């Protein structure tokens, strides 16, 4: 029977990492997967995480099942991080959450719940979007439609086209937003544009899903949550899928959450019951370790402070890398304007490199970039900057 199984192509992100690992060139550069790397090119375990793990090791603990939705303290932390204390504690805001194994599963749980409970048939997402978004919702059985996102140069936002194309969505359909640090482009709407988008969602009666994988990588933990907080404050209901892979550096622990925000206790309880039902049929209940690390950090004033300081350092270092990259490219290719890279935020930049140029970078220089031209800025360091920029300058 298995002889007839067709071969599936390698994943466009993780497949590239496999190729990178096999590459014997000692000067190879990996700017593919969205993982933060420090100056030495390694992905550090954050100090707050090491300290929390030590604390967990020293405590009695057990390996019993967690509740289907994970521990209540963890779920409250998700709500407080996403909404901020003021909104979370507001009488008219009811936030329920569940721990999920990473952001991917959270997005999948959202999709399964939208289809089963709300009978949603279509979800709208930006063009371009994270490569896994269409796959996840296609696997759920939803139709995927895309709203326009980028301008002609593919380096900034075309908000009018975004509004026009999303305007074709019908009532009861879902819409997916990157709350901050859009993946793959690094291009985000402004505060004013988010306000307009919030109005449009309500006017069109769409069900919004906010993918929140980069809280703290844009401007700050609070500022990055503006799109969700504003939408909720102006009466909106939303599903939020968050990940702690990036802002706690817990990639391999698979830790994140799904939150539902509504305005009365009954709908909140109903939403949680449905999310739990979806979870029970997929992974039953979440794994312990990653969530326990996050929970420990967020409930210990000292560890939380260390975490915030480390996160700020990461964000500021990426901004510096952007500036260094732009300056280095500008001096090599003076006729081209690279300033757009300084305007983009988060780990990624849409470089404008064509698939041919990306292929040449890999074949001739062992530099690994996604076929779309997405660069993981957080993979640049002072050791590889000049080699990278020389190589890019030679192919553009």
> For the range 134-139, what are the long-range contacts, defined as Cβ-Cβ under 8 Å and sequence gap of 24 or more?
136/104, 136/107, 136/108, 136/111, 137/107, 137/111, 137/176, 139/108
Question: Which residue in the set 30, 77, 132, 296 belongs to the binding site for ligand LMR (CB under 6 A)?
Answer: 132
Residue 143: which residues within 8 A CB-CB, separation 6 or more?
A: 121, 122, 123
Chain position whose Cβ is nearest to ligand LMR: 34
- 130 vs 350, beta carbon nearer ligand LMR: 130
CA–CA distance, 145 with 134 (Å, rounded to integer): 9
Cα–Cα distance list, 67 to 79, 268, 292 (Å): 17, 18, 13
Q: Quick one: which of 16, 31, 33, 279 contacts ligand LMR (CB under 6 A)?
A: 33
Candidates 188, 211, 224, 295; catalytic one = 211
Nearer to ligand LMR, 88 or 214 (CB): 214
Q: 79 or 257, CB closer to ligand LMR?
A: 257
- Say whether residue 130 binds ligand LMR (CB under 6 A): yes
H or E element, residue 122: strand 122-127
Is residue 362 part of the annotated active site? The answer reads no
Q: Which string of x and - marks every residue 339-358 that binds ligand LMR (by CB under 6 A)?
A: --------------------
When the beta carbons of 128 and 189 are compared against ligand LMR, the nearer one is 128
Round to whole Å and give the CA distance between 293 and 51.
9
Q: How many residues does the chain have?
A: 396
Site for ligand LMR in 373-392 (CB under 6 A): none
Question: What distances in angstroms separate CA 332 from CA 286, 338, 384, 392, one per listed residue?
Answer: 50, 11, 15, 9
Q: What end-to-end distance do the CA atoms of the chain give, in Å? A: 48
Residue 36 Cβ, how far from ligand LMR at the closest point, in Å? Answer: 11
- Of the two residues 165 and 183, which places its CB atom closer to ligand LMR in the complex? 183
Shortest Å distance, C-beta 139 to ligand LMR: 15
Q: Is 13 in the site for ligand LMR (CB under 6 A)?
A: yes
Which of 29, 34, 149, 218 touches ligand LMR (CB under 6 A)? 34
CB 161, CB 148: distance < 8 Å: yes
The tokens describing 101, both together, are: 């194994």
User: Rule CB under 6 A: is residue 126 a binding residue for ligand LMR?
Assistant: no
Q: Are 144 and 134 in contact (CB under 8 A)?
A: yes
Shortest Å distance, C-beta 188 to ligand LMR: 16
Query: Quick check: 183 binds ligand LMR (CB under 6 A)?
Result: yes
Strands 94-100 and 348-350: unpaired
Of 51 and 246, which has the nearer Cβ to ligand LMR? 246
Instruction: Respond yes or no: is residue 124 known to be catalytic.
Output: no
* Closest distance of CB 10 from ligand LMR, Å: 13
Query: With CB under 6 A, what is the number of residues at the site for ligand LMR?
Result: 6
Q: Catalytic one among 130, 194, 224, 307?
A: 130
Please confirm, yes or no, whether 295 is among the known catalytic residues: no
- Closest to 183 measured CA to CA, from 311, 356, 365, 12: 12
Provide the β-strand partners of residue 212.
242
Which residue numbers are catalytic? 130, 211, 246
Binding residues (CB under 6 A) for ligand LMR: these are 13, 33-34, 130, 132, 183
């Amino acid at each position: 029977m298995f002889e007839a199984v067709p071969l599936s192509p390698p994943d466009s992100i993780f497949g590239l990492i496999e190729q990178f690992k096999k590459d014997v060139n000692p000067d190879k550069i990996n700017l593919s997967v969205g993982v933060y790397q420090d100056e030495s090119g390694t992905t550090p375990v954050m100090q707050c995480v090491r300290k929390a793990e030590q604390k967990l090791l020293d405590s009695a603990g057990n390996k019993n099942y967690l509740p289907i939705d994970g521990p209540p303290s963890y779920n409250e932390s998700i709500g407080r991080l996403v909404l901020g204390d003021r909104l979370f504690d507001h009488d008219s805001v009811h936030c329920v959450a569940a721990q999920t194994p990473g952001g991917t599963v959270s997005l999948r749980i959202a999709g399964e719940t939208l289809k089963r409970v709300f009978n949603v048939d279509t979800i709208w997402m930006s063009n371009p979007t994270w490569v896994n978004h269409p796959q996840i919702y296609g696997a759920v059985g939803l139709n995927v439609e895309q709203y326009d996102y980028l301008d002609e140069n593919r380096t900034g936002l075309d908000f009018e086209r975004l509004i026009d194309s999303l305007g074709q969505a019908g009532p009861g359909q879902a819409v997916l937003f990157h709350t901050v640090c859009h993946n793959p482009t690094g291009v985000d709407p402004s505060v004013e544009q988010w306000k307009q988008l919030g109005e449009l969602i309500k006017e069109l009666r769409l069900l919004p899903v906010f993918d929140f994988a980069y809280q703290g990588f844009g401007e700050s933990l609070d500022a990055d949550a503006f799109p969700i907080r504003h939408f909720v404050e102006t009466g909106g209901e939303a599903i939020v899928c968050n990940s702690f892979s990036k802002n706690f550096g817990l990639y391999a622990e698979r830790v994140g959450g799904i939150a539902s925000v509504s305005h009365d206790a009954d709908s909140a309880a109903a939403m949680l019951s449905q999310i739990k039902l979806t979870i029970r049929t997929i992974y039953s209940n979440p794994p312990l370790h990653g969530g326990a690390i996050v929970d420990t950090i967020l409930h210990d004033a000292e560890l939380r402070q260390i975490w915030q300081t480390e996160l700020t350092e990461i964000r500021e270092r990426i901004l510096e890398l952007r500036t260094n990259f732009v300056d280095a490219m500008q001096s090599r290719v003076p006729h081209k304007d690279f300033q757009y890279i300084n305007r983009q935020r988060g780990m990624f930049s849409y470089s404008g490199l064509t698939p041919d140029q990306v292929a040449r970078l890999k074949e001739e220089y062992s530099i690994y970039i996604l076929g779309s031209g997405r660069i993981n800025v957080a993979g640049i360091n002072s050791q590889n900057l000049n080699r990278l920029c020389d190589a890019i300058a030679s192919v553009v």
